[in-house]
Every structure is written in structure tokens, then in C-alpha cells.
Amino acid sequence: MQLTAMKTRFVLALAPGWSERAHLSFVCLVLSVFLLFPPAVRAQGGDQEELERELSRALAVEAPPPRASLLPDISVVGTFAAAWFSGEPTPRLAAHEPFHHGPQLQEIELGFRSNVDPFVRADVFLAVSLEGIEVEEAYVTTLAFPADLRLRGGEMYAPFGRVNQVHYLEATPFADLPLVNRRFFGGEQLRGLGLEVSYLLPLPFYAEIVGAALSAGNEVSFGIPATEIETPRDLLGVARLATAFDLGDRLTLLLGASYANGPNASGGLEGARAHRTQIWGADFTLRLRDAASRAHTALQAEWMTRRAEVPGGGFLQGGAYVWLVRRFDARWEAAIRGDILGLPSGRAFGDPHLGEEEVFLFAEAIHAHEHDHAHAETGEFLRPLRQRRLGASLSFYPSEFQRLRLQANYDFLPGEGRGIWEAFFQYQFVIGSHGAHAF
């Protein structure tokens, strides 16, 4: 009581203009602060922890949920690489693969994901590189379309094979693309603007059938730019059948078959609609999860073959990769990969001299008109080639949100002579919301 009286006098002296009521409430406030804090300061060990727990529990109840806004889930994935080549690297498109000596920014990916309303969900991925910003993917997916159908519309990776459907910088165990994916789909992979319909087949096991029609702006195998599209035949059609089986509790087998058909616009502006490219693909994934562990082993293989018509004939080219990944635990992962362009080995049909000349693509034609360049890089990717490559990588994850990767490739260059070595160091970080992993 004496203490309270003293305090009151002290406060009265400090703030003579205050009303009695204001003084009283101020005193109560000061006292309650004293009552609350000195024990916390004095208490040692168990008492303090007990009180801290009590406080954090009390505060937890009242704390507003941190994500009480309508912002979408936002993430940023930064991928950087440093590369070294023992000789002239095999042709690649300057997109996101390491393609020159020294450090390079592979991609800064900005991801935005959210439900739009009860009917659809939107996923937007913007890729920022030194060349600028581009829409990597931006699509909506139906959540509740009837009859086991799912619709997807917008800019998206074509539902072809395995690697083409994922953001390979995040989801594959290597810093670069498989040879066949690069050769057939280019550095940006096979993607376009359009609509996809998929159907879960009413079977006792998982089987899905997918069809898509996309604007075929691909820089390698297909290509009538969106602005030049006149008929549905100018679009790229893609179909896929995928199925999966559990072989026991821990082993899963995935099988898929894909097909793409679209105009390739070889022969420049005039011949744009006369020539088509068809690609057939088959994929196989076998994944074994260790008991009670993050560890798993996965064997994945894809084979594709492409038949491209060009003025005077065409080219037939096959290619495949197979990789084996071992995730040892939460932190370490190792992988090996074999690549081949062949199966069937590239050959030309029609005009016997076809393989000797530069193939002129639509995109290049525009390029040549605008910039007066004789030829661009892309045409070369349509020509047949035999090539083999071996690679190995080792990845370290300090946490779920960072990855360091070392990779070495030996590239048996086409033709005779010795191959070259390629070495990559790659670093990746993820901030923001944690997206779901692809299987």
C-alpha cells in the first residue's frame, strides 16, 4: 500500500494536470507491468521457460494468422551456374543451360500460385534471365470439372514425356537438359499457348489420357508464330497416355507414351504450311523408396523419334537418355546419365543431298529479313546427328531450400576426333512458399 501511495504521489508530481481517474489507471498500468515482468527477469531455468511457454501460448492464440491476406503463394527460385568446357561445346541454344565459360545466371523463376475461385486454380511462372523476362508458364487448371476431366488453359509446357513437363532446373538431377530434349525441343523446351484436356480413365489402376492443342512457337521442331496462325492445322497437337503401378509398398513404376504433330515451317515463309514434324515418345520411370527414410533410388528413361518434312524430303532422328538417381538422405544426391542421339540414327530421306544444306526455318526467315543474317542457329537442330554423352552429378542440400551441385559431362562429339569435357557448378535457392514436388 505504501508503495502504491508513493507511486501515486510521484505520478501526481509528474503530471499535475491529470484527473484522479487517469492517475489511477496509469498506476494500475505501471503496477501490472511490474507484476508481469520482474518475475520473468528473476526466474531462472525452469520457471522462466515455463513462463515463456505460457506466454507464447497465450500470444499464439491472439496472434493473427500470418497469411490472412488474399495474396497468392509466391516463390522465387534462383539458379546460377559456372561452366567450363575443354573445347567448343556442342550446339545449344542460349536459354537456360550453361553454354559459355564462366559464371552465368540460368534463371530467376518467380512463381505465383493460388485458387482463383472455387472452380479454377492459377499457376504463373515468370522466368527472368539476363535476356529479359518471359512468361515461362501461366495457366489455369479446373478443380472441379465433371466426368473426371481436367482442363488446363494458358501458356504451358506441352504434356510430352517426363522432362518436358517439369521445370528441369528444379526437378531434375542435372544442371542441363538431356541431349534429345535439347535437340528436339530447344532451350525453352516444348511449350505454347493453348488448351489441354485430360481424363482419368475409369480403370482399377491409374491411367490418364491427355490431349492438347498449342500454338507451335517452338524454336526447333515446330513453328508457326502465333501471329501467323490461320487454321487449326497450324497448331501443335500433343497426346499422351500415362499410367502408374505400385509394385509393393515402396516400388512404383510409371509408363508413358506421347505423340506430337505440328507444322515445322521449314522452307521459309512460303512453304510454311507444307511441312510437318511428328515426334513419338516413350518413357519409363522406376522409383524405389527406402523404408523409414528420405532416401530413394530412381531409374528414368525416355526415348523419342522425330520425323520432320523439309522441302525436297525429310529427316528421321531418334534419341534417348537414361538416368539413375540415388538420394542418400535429406542432404546428398548422386546421379549418372547416358545420352544418345540415334535410335534410329539420323538420316535424310527424299533428296539425297538434303543433309548437306542448311535447313531454313520460318523463324530464321523472319530473322534474316529483319536483320539480314544469312542463317541462324536453330535450323541446325532439325538436321540429323549422331552423338553420345555421359554425365554424372553430385548434389548437396544444406536445407530443403538450397542446393549446390557439381556435374561433369563427357561429350563424344559428332563425327571423328576426341570429345570434350564439360564441368558445371550450380547453385540454387528457393524463397517463399514451398511448392509441391513432382514425382
Contact footprint for another protein (CB under 8 A): 46, 49, 56-57, 59-61, 63, 65-67, 115, 118, 121, 141, 143-146, 148-150, 200, 205-206, 208, 242, 244-246, 249-250, 252, 254, 287, 289, 291-294, 296, 329-331, 398-401, 431, 433-439
In the complex, what is the shortest distance from the CB of residue 305 to another protein, in angstroms, rounded to a whole number? 25
Closer residue to another protein, CB minimum distance, 81 or 238: 238
**All 3 cell numbers of residue 68?**
490472412
Is 191 within 8 Å of 157 (Cβ atoms)?
Answer: yes
Radius of gyration over every alpha carbon of the chain, rounded to an integer in angstroms: 30
Closest approach, Cβ 80 to another protein, in A, equals 19
Contact 233, 273 (CB under 8 A): yes
Any idea what the Cα angle at residue 163 is, between residues 162 and 165, rounded to 5°? 75
Cβ nearer to another protein, comparing 100 with 294: 294
Residue 267 C-alpha cell reads as: 522452307
If one counts every other C-beta atom within 10 angstroms of the C-beta of residue 35, the result is: 9
Nearest Cα residue to 126 out of 106, 110, 139, 107 = 110
For another protein, give the closer residue by CB, 26 or 145. 145
How far, in Å, CA of 249 to CA of 290, rounded?
A: 10
Amino acid identity for residue 139 in this structure: Y
- Shortest Å, Cβ 288 to another protein: 10
How many Å apart are CA 404 and CA 243, to the nearest integer? 33
Nearer to another protein among residue 197 and residue 316 (C-beta): 197
| In the complex, minimum distance from the CB of residue 180 to another protein, in angstroms, rounded to a whole number | 23
Nearer to another protein, 184 or 323 (CB): 323
Q: Is 368 exposed, middle or buried (0-12, 13-18, 19+ CB in 10 A)?
A: middle
Shorter beta-carbon distance to another protein: residue 214 or 254: 254
Minimum CB distance to another protein, residue 167 (Å) = 13
Task: For the CB of residue 291, give the shortest distance to another protein in the complex, in Å.
Answer: 6
d(CA 101, CA 272): 37
- Measured distance CA(366)–CA(381) in Å, rounded: 17
Q: Which has the closest alpha carbon to 37: 52, 57, 58, 59? A: 52
Q: Min. distance of Cβ 201 from another protein in angstroms?
A: 10
**Residue among 164, 160, 142, 137 nearest 152 (CA):** 142
The least CB distance from residue 250 to another protein, in Å, is: 8
CB atoms closer than 10 angstroms to residue 232: 8
Helix axes 45-62, 20-42, angle to 10 degrees: 130
Q: At what angle do helices 2-14 and 20-42 cross, to 10 degrees?
A: 120
DSSP 187: T
Nearest distance, CB of residue 402 and another protein, angstroms: 10
Minimum separation from the CB atom of position 50 to another protein (A): 8
